[in-house]
Chains A and B, each alone.
Chain A
Amino acid sequence: DAGVIQSPRHEVTEMGQEVTLRCKPISGHDYLFWYRQTMMRGLELLIYFNNNVPIDDSGMPEDRFSAKMPNASFSTLKIQPSEPRDSAVYFCASSGTSRETQYFGPGTRLLVL
């Protein structure tokens, strides 16, 4: 099993640009989670899906952030427009059931200049 796949691994962009992060969860997993990790705030849950349906987006910082899961094997997290304070590592994780092990992808390191 390839595990959770994220792309790109690194992204450098300028303030105001649109950023799209991508995630392929482990096949057969029903849950997909998007997290953001910074030194100041630690690991924060942004949004999670169950069977492709967004369940809780209360962690999404503001309207500039949006996430979709058009099918069981693909999800995107979009930031438009991006700002320097969005610089962080963004992780995608998936799990078979919500309360058991979450499998994390390698993360996307985003730098907004």
Chain B
Amino acid sequence: SQQGEEDPQALSIQEGENATMNCSYKTSINNLQWYRQNSGRGLVHLILIRSNEREKHSGRLRVTLDTSKKSSSLLITASRAADTASYFCATDAKSSGDKLTFGTGTRLAVRP
């Protein structure tokens, strides 16, 4: 089964609104990363949060991590049409050696 599973699977919002995506995972992690994938493109790294961090910001992105609940959330504030993409969380689990395990992704559509 997937180490990381995103919720919701799809999200449609109006430009200017905030978008929140959640990721749940099963085992202890070293870090958790979020990636974006535009249609027909490769994944692009957005942000990494380590297991001893609770919150991290990067521009309009805010990531939180709750290791007690084994969950993370990605907040995109003041969304733009260009934010339309799929967003994936990826976990570096302590039991998985060098591998990242990617979740199923959230498809975000931002309407102009």
Chain A interface residues (CB < 8 Å from chain B): 4, 31, 42-43, 45, 48, 50, 55-56, 91, 93, 98-107
Among A43, A48, A100: residue with most chain B CB under 10 A: A43
Chain A residues near B88: list those with CB within 8 A: 43
Q: Is A42 touching B102 in the complex (CB atoms < 8 A)?
A: yes
Knowing A43-B88, A106-B41, A107-B41 are in contact, say whether A98-B98 is a contact too (CB < 8 A).
yes
Q: Which of B13-21, B43-51, B54-62, B74-82 contacts A (4 or more CB under 8 A)?
A: B43-51
Q: Provide the bound-state CA to CA distance between A98 and B92, in Å.
A: 9
Chain B interface residues (CB < 8 Å from chain A): 2, 30-31, 33, 35, 41-45, 48, 88, 90, 92, 97-105
Q: Is A42 touching B48 in the complex (CB atoms < 8 A)?
A: no
Add 9 more A-B contacts to A4-B42, A98-B98 (CB < 8 A).
A43-B102, A45-B99, A50-B98, A55-B98, A56-B97, A99-B30, A99-B31, A101-B33, A104-B44
26 pairs of residues in contact across A and B, judged by CB atoms under 8 Å:
A4-B42, A31-B98, A42-B105, A43-B88, A43-B105, A45-B100, A48-B98, A48-B99, A50-B98, A55-B97, A55-B98, A56-B97, A56-B99, A91-B43, A93-B43, A98-B97, A98-B98, A99-B98, A101-B33, A101-B45, A101-B48, A102-B43, A102-B90, A102-B100, A106-B41, A106-B42
Q: Is A42 touching B98 in the complex (CB atoms < 8 A)?
A: no
Q: Provide the bound-state CA to CA distance between A88 and B92, in Å.
A: 24
Q: Is B42 touching A104 in the complex (CB atoms < 8 A)?
A: yes
Chain A residues near B99: list those with CB within 8 A: 45, 48, 56, 98
Q: Is B102 touching A103 in the complex (CB atoms < 8 A)?
A: no
Chain A residues near B105: list those with CB within 8 A: 42-43
The 5 closest A-B pairs by CB, nearest first: A98-B98, A104-B42, A101-B45, A43-B102, A104-B43
Determine the residue in chain B with the shortest Cβ distance to A50.
B98
Q: Provide the bound-state CA to CA distance between A105 and B43, in Å.
A: 8
Q: Is B104 touching A42 in the complex (CB atoms < 8 A)?
A: yes
Chain A residues near B102: list those with CB within 8 A: 42-43
Among B35, B92, B98: residue with most chain A CB under 10 A: B98
